[in-house]
Amino acid sequence: MILKFGAKKKWVNYTPFDIQFPTVRESQSMEILSRADQKKIMNYIQEHFTFRNLGVYICLSAGMRIGEVCALTWKDVDTDTGIINVRQTIQRIYVIEDGVRRTELILDTPKTKNSIREIPLSKDLLRILKPFKKIVNPSFFILTNDVKPTEPRTYRSYYKNLMKDLKMPELKFHGLRHSFATRCIESKCDYKTVSVLLGHSNISTTLNLYVHPNMEQKKKAIEQMFKTLR
């Protein structure tokens, strides 16, 4: 991507090539919430509402990334059509000025065009959001209900403490997104739709991450194969 950008600016010549990215993802088990734990968290948030808790509920209901939910404003939520519009993300980056390195919080468009997407609101989430939508300032960020957003690092810390208070298994924030995707797959949602909801750049990313045949499916495949030999 860097070389392509350089070529676009006519700084370098770019020759297309294939690259194999190193990953240990395949050797690790996917960290997700069990159905019981997910239900417990969502019920707790409904009974103990805060705007920061709402962000966790949104991630479990819509599969958004932490930077996307931190950047979500009330105008991005359309309760009339029942749609969340993911249009921006927030992140802290390093910048160097006069030889001094510092960090800066920036609000920007998501990393790929596929990440800009529309996600339908679940009935429960719509029921929670609808009363607020009528009275809040549309330009305010949802997690703070204020003109100033919270940054991912701060929100990740809040989430960690929430999970600890609820005596939940230790799960990274991204595990909420994994849990959403897994529940979609479990409910027999087609893979292309799941890929679009997650904002993946291609369906192979979704398949590699979330679609893994279980032993029952493997046995069924072997049995079907041998039926053709009889």
pLDDT of residue 30: 76
Task: Write down the residue that tokens 């291609």 correspond to.
Answer: 202
Number of H helices, E strands in the chain: 10, 5
Helix/strand/coil for 115: helix
Residues 6+ away with beta carbon under 8 Å from 150? 52, 70, 141, 143, 144, 158
Q: Percent of the chain scored above 90 by pLDDT? A: 65
- Computed over every residue of the chain, the mean pLDDT equals 91
pLDDT of residue 224: 86
pLDDT at 115 over 90: yes
Helix/strand/coil for 160: helix
Q: Between these two residues, 18 and 11, which has the higher pLDDT value?
A: 11
Q: What is the pLDDT of residues 81-99, one digit of tens each?
A: 999 999 999 988 888 888 8
Give, as one character, the DSSP assignment of residue 122. Answer: P
Q: Between these two residues, 25 and 108, which has the higher pLDDT value?
A: 108
Residues 89, 92, 98, 99: is their CA dihedral positive or negative?
negative
pLDDT of residue 160: 97
Q: Percent of the chain scored above 70 by pLDDT? A: 95
pLDDT of residue 24: 56
Residues 6+ away with beta carbon under 8 Å from 1? none
Please calculate the CA angle 123-69-63 and round it to the nearest 5 degrees. 55
pLDDT at 189 over 90: yes
- Tokens at residue 62, please? 């819509």
Mean pLDDT of 169-174: 94
Helix/strand/coil for 104: strand
Going along the chain from its start, the domains and CATH numbers come out as 2-227 (1.10.443.10)
pLDDT at 214 over 70: no
pLDDT of residue 26: 52
Contact in structure between 100 and 138 (CB atoms under 8 Å) = no
pTM: 0.81
Q: Is 126 exposed, middle or buried (0-12, 13-18, 19+ CB in 10 A)?
A: middle
Q: With cut-offs at 50, 70 and 90, classify the pLDDT of residue 16.
A: confident
* Residue 92 host element (H or E): strand 89-97
Q: With cut-offs at 50, 70 and 90, classify the pLDDT of residue 70.
A: very high
pLDDT of residue 44: 98
Q: What is the pLDDT of residues 24-64, one digit of tens each?
A: 555 556 789 999 999 999 999 999 999 999 999 999 999 99
Q: With cut-offs at 50, 70 and 90, classify the pLDDT of residue 193.
A: very high
Contact in structure between 151 and 159 (CB atoms under 8 Å) = no
- Tokens at residue 13, please? 């010549």
pLDDT of residue 99: 82
For the stretch 2-37, what's the b/e string if a residue is b when 16 or more beta carbons lie within 10 angstroms of its beta carbon?
A: eeeeeeeeeeeeeeeeeeeeeeeeeeeeeebbeeeb
- Tokens at residue 175, please? 């595990």
pLDDT of residue 23: 62
